[in-house]
Chain A
Amino acid sequence: MAIAEQEQAPLELESGEDQVTERPLGAFTRPSGGGGWRSWLFTVDHKKIGIMYGAAGLLFFVIGGIYALFMRLQLSRPGNSILSAETYNQVFTMHGVVMIFLAAIPLGAAFSNYLIPLQIGARDVAFPRLNAFSFWVFLGGGLFLLTSMFIGGWWENAPDGGWFAYSPNTGVLFSPSKGIDFFAIGLQITGIASLVGAINLIVTVLNMRSPGMTLMKMPVLTWMLFIVQLLLLFAMPVISVALFLLTFDRLFDANFFNVSQGADPLLWQHLFWIFGHPEVYILILPSFGVISEIIPTFSRKPIFGYPFMVFSGIAIGFMGWGVWAHHMFASGIGPVAVAAFSVSTMFIAVPTGVKILNWLATMWGGRIRFTTPMLYATSVVAMFTIGGLSGVTHSLAAADTQQTDTYYIVAHFHYVIFGGIILGFFGGFYFWWPKMFGYFLSEKIGKMSFWVMVIGFNLTFGPMHILGLQGMSRRIQTYSSGQGFDFWNIIATIGAFLIAVATAMFIANIIISRRAHRAGKTPDPGPDPWDARSLEWMTASPVPEHNFDEQIVVERQDEFWHRKWGKDETGRVVRRATSEEVAHDGSNTNVHLPSPSYWPLIAALGLPIIGYGLIYNLWLCVVGGLFVLGGLYGWVFEPVDDPNADGHHHDEGHETPDAPQAEEANEDSSEEVSVD
């Protein structure tokens, strides 16, 4: 997609001969944007897609949180019977699956989609329609998974094998409900979404940077998100293979995990964790990136050791592929493998430690403003350090064998995932909210909810370290009293409800702040409310549809900051220009925009239908297949840009869905239409 601003001549289309009415497949006209729900449903704008990712991710976060509350209620006292053992298995599985695949990954995708093009000064992502496709596929796959709760009975058919679904426990023999089918197919669908999104964003970062934006001038957030996309690119096919094998086993009687035929139960574990450990970094690196933007801004210093931040991220990305078997120390993989993976696990703590030290050094001596985003960012540094340290204890295989499948593990990964990721994302929400929506979230409510959340979080997961070391197993539905578990369990339950209160306060904050702004009680944030450093602040808030009024030529890292601030003769840092003077005001309406399209949504709709078809009735697969095929072919015969759209001209950007059918997408692109 072009930054078409350079071409000032408004419209080549005027020549008349191009005014062909484009009717893809003859019957439908193209959506023309417009307002209301249509502008969201058929959009290809990376910002709207990013916001939809965020909204969907938050919704799933709330749903996953409700599961967690029921689990904590069940465990609040010994011998409880709020949930039956069968239901409890399904609830904890759904909690894990929803939180990881439907909340944490899409929230990361929300930041990637919204911010990568802005931070590299691009007009949009490389393949805008593909971007819409990946969002709708993700949403379809997520809802597909959730329907397992009530299809065929209330909590009868939800997955119940834990989020890592070890075989042969997930075979038809041990898991006769349809839950694992929903799990395997649902994750397959969301996996397609991640893969497509990754290809799109990798090409965007590599190929769409504005002039002068070399790789080593990109903001740390863009770097971390770029690494995440590379990890997704290579990790997703591995989980795809594992899920295919599982699906074939369950639906077509294949033997991959059929132990009576001599199958190896470790095959699943290896495939899953080769995906699963990079997945951990897929989850955490976006948050690392987010706080690497927040901390320099509110410390009023550039990030300390920028190259170290970048290369430690790359190192994490590489080493993340060499530690997967530390999830399997208790499965008998042999002393050599255990020793090797112990060492590699200790090593991966080094680049993470580099990052923590650099954040601290960035804050050191800075003029720190403790706004809500900064509070969240600093809490990530602290909480992630705790989670990281308990992670290193797992690299000691002898100790790990004692901790495996206890609450100590649960405590560890919640400190990493909640303390590291979710807190960072909340910080990111408060930080970029004015940029995305044009109003501030209330600092007062924000700070209150921050403290409730951090205290609740530590009350929930802190005691789990103790519970785990005392020997309480994870995934048990209940426990008997007199084992010393009672006190810490009720504390954890109280903490979980505090987290729920904090989340509710965040949602209330959105509503209250929005109302207050509409009533004119809060000031307009302007383009650059925090005196920030990267390019996304160099345009109006909320970001206009075309991002930047003109192409930005980048000369330095933190370009925007250097345009605002400079040094006088005595070497003191002085303001050279106000943000408003430097930033674009979004008034240029003569910028090419990619046209909205129906087809990504239609093609994406087919996938969950195929999923239901595989489980219940193969005829449905035909229906779903028709949706996919029709969607893709409609896509193929539709030019990237609507020749009839007003005020825009063609550019050279073309979309290539990555799916093998991909290339057809180009066959009837804009050039040819004109050649005809």
Chain B
Amino acid sequence: MVLLAPLRASSRVGVFRTRLLRPPGTARYFASSVITRQNAPVKQPPHSDSVLFPGAVNSKFTNELKFQRPQDLPAIPTYRLIDTHGEVTDKSREPDVSQELALKMYKDMVTSSIMDLLMYESQRQGRISFYIVSAGEEGIAIGSAAALAPDDVIFSQYREQGVMMYRGFTLDEFMNQLFANKFDYGKGRNMPIHYMSERLHMHPISSPLATQIPHSVGAAYALKLDRSSRIVVCFFGEGAASEGDFHAALNIAATRSCPVVFICRNNGFAISTPTLEQYKGDGIASRGVGYGIDTVRVDGNDIMAVREVTMRARDIALKEQKPVLVEAMSYRVSHHSTSDDSFAYRAKVEVEDWKHRDNPITRMRKWLESKSWWSGEQDQELRTQVRRDILKAFARAEKEKKPALENLFLDVYKIPSRDLEEQMAELRRIIEEYPDEYDLEAFDRGKEGL
């Protein structure tokens, strides 16, 4: 879209595009990936089977006229360790995980799913305005979180409460955000489920789809400059991968060699649009290959496989300083959000089938039980306890005061502009003049909060 301007500009200033040949010994060191430019003159031996076209240096000549047909290529396989019955499919590859860690992962999945149920209901009762559940996708969030270093930086979409939970976001912290009370880190400025945590290195969730993908690449570039031992992980859905931001971000991540792991949750639906209408070709994974990015597809309902794949991906991103794409397959058994009724576009029986056939939580439970690490009795106990804990946090958060009134105006700029200060003073004046018209009980510090 922008070829016109540079051409004209170059002619105007009388400077033509010249290659800057660097003197020997001045090659710029750039972590493990040096960006090479094709500066050397092209030498082509006679009868060569290829020419070094700058756009495709490894391509060989052929006399066979053949179009590449996507359907002729085999689909990228889906990696898994444990099948739907909870059995390890290759006995030589037993998941390398301690009982303690396995149980933490399982408990976090269960907690996340119960919190989803309760909060979905609370939205239906009108106690919060909006909610998004992650039912069916807990394995992806928690499996990947378990593979990362605690200080790896995370950009998530809005269906990764499991990542936060695994990292230690407390039930109180969840509830404070959902009820936008005075303890909400976002000071009541964002919709429910748009969590963030400075302590846990989780960036604030941004609603516009896929915008977080280029952000994650920028943050990864910052880590690269810092020669950090951390990486960035970015989550998004397969629907978001149709946005230009996804393509732009993968392309730049590849060309700038940024240490970032992209995790795509492919749950089959972008709100109501099924993947069949979302894209052609072999899922999101094939896009990664197209951008020259190391890519793997994994069974998202197999939490142990997700963990192993993410560990390997992290290793590549860090050691080789380059991006990796993970496509984790699952099925969104829930509605998209509280604003959606998915039975308008898919049969209830299809969803019920999926729930019975496969689910990351039941799959892991079967595996845990097969190892005698967990029992039905313990499961019941856990579910009762978790439910009780969530409701307690719920009650505490719901009755807390709302953020102080000043938060309406603060943080628009680092230092409030004069306009904003004047508006704040004006609001205070009006409230003082008409005290009976404003009930400030609900707000932290009442009138003094301004």
A, B: real partners:
no
Chain B interface residues toward A at CB < 8 A? none
Chain A interface residues toward B at CB < 8 A? none
